[in-house]
């Protein structure tokens, strides 16, 4: 009986090894075909015969973002749409530029965790967990911080030069919700915002003006 069981296990293992190593089981990669529609699982695959080395390379993160805006910061994405080689891998990247005094306001990524790698500058960075405990630190060149999926976090450039960061995400579409924009860049009536945020009318009106809201 033992020998029969052993033989069965070896047979199953052999079949499994052959199945998963067979070239016909699955493609080695799925370069995004940007001419097609993007679905929940990403883009359909580009014809392998048309794939070149350029599909595996993206130079866009070498270009500084435009920080001339309300928050004095810019995010340059490298998702499947910009970098087709990431399609199907469950990964995403972004370059973050924060000018002196600039800020990435409180926000969440509902569908991915984030690894935040400072390449240049000095950044005050913090996150808040579900119990409202704050984890706050100052990051410098070479430092890395992780933000678990769905937790509030923010960054402020506390240095005298532009901070440059590479953010890596554990999902192809991490999602983004900026809390300030969610509250003040919409048409929610001011009186409801005043009641739900404990801010007075003047403060709400000012913030709606800053973020482009109405109502």
Annotated binding site for Mn(2+): 107, 109, 114, 153
Task: Write out the binding residues for oxalate.
Answer: 109, 114
Q: How many CB atoms lie within 10 A of CB 148?
A: 14
Whole-number Å distance between alpha carbons of 112 and 108? 9
**Cβ atoms 92, 171 nearer than 8 A:** yes
Q: Collapse the DSSP code of 81 into the 3-class scheme (helix H, G, I; strand E, B; otherwise coil) and give the result.
A: coil
Instruction: Kindly state the tokens that stand for 115.
Output: 């690894």
CA distance 121 to 142: 9
Give CA–CA dist 212/188, Å, rounded: 12
Contact (CB, 8 A) for 94 and 74: no
Bind-site residues? 107, 109, 114, 153
Q: How far apart are CA 170 and CA 207, in angstroms?
A: 33
């Amino acid at each position: 009986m033992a020998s029969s069981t052993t033989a069965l296990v070896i047979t199953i293992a052999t079949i499994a090894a052959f199945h998963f190593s067979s070239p016909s089981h699955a493609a080695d990669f799925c370069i995004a075909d940007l001419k097609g529609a993007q679905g929940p699982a990403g883009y359909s695959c580009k014809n392998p015969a048309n794939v070149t080395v350029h599909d595996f390379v993206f130079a866009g993160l070498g270009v500084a973002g435009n920080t001339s805006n309300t928050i004095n910061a810019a995010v340059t994405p490298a998702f499947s749409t910009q970098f087709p080689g990431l399609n199907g891998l469950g990964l995403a990247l972004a370059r973050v530029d924060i000018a002196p005094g600039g800020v990435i306001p409180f926000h969440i990524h509902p569908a991915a965790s984030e690894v935040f790698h400072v390449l240049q500058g000095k950044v005050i960075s913090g996150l808040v967990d579900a119990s409202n405990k704050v984890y706050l630190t100052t990051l410098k060149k070479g430092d890395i911080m992780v933000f678990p999926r769905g937790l509030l976090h923010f960054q402020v450039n506390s240095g005298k030069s532009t901070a440059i960061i590479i953010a890596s995400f554990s999902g192809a579409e991490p999602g983004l919700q900026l809390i300030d924009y969610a509250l003040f860049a919409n048409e929610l009536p001011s009186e409801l915002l005043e009641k739900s945020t404990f801010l007075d009318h003047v403060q709400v009106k000012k913030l709606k003006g800053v973020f482009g809201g109405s109502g």
